[in-house]
């Protein structure tokens, strides 16, 4: 998860693409937060949107789960 941006391929070179490839090209992709500095300097025209990882509310993966009994509820 990281920054959302449009994929490349919007320059008219779509004649040889299949329908599935065309839809994928016109969609969005996500860039890691570590690569943000590259885009800021190399692609200043791209609008980057932040997307955080989904919040996982599963109680079995939390640290407190080790101290709870095997059955709770």
Measured over the CA atoms of residue 6, residue 22, residue 24 and residue 35, the dihedral's sign is: negative
Distance of CA 62 to the CA centre of its chain: 24
**Which pLDDT value is given to residue 14?**
62
Burial environment of residue 4 by CB neighbours within 10 A (0 to 12, 13 to 18, 19 or more): middle
Distance CA 28, CA 15 (A): 20
**Which pLDDT value is given to residue 56?**
83
Tens of pLDDT, residue by residue, the chain (73 residues): 455 566 665 566 667 778 888 787 777 677 777 777 787 788 777 777 666 677 888 878 878 777 777 776 6
Task: State the pTM of this model.
Answer: 0.31
Domain residue ranges of the chain, discontinuous segments joined by +: 2-52
**Which pLDDT value is given to residue 46?**
73
């Amino acid at each position: 998860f990281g920054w959302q941006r449009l994929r490349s391929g919007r320059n008219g070179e779509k004649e040889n693409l299949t329908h599935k490839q065309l839809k994928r090209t016109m969609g969005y992709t996500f860039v890691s937060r570590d690569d943000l500095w590259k885009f800021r300097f190399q692609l200043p025209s791209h609008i980057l949107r932040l997307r955080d990882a989904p919040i996982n509310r599963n109680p079995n993966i939390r640290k407190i789960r080790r101290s709870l009994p095997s059955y709770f509820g």
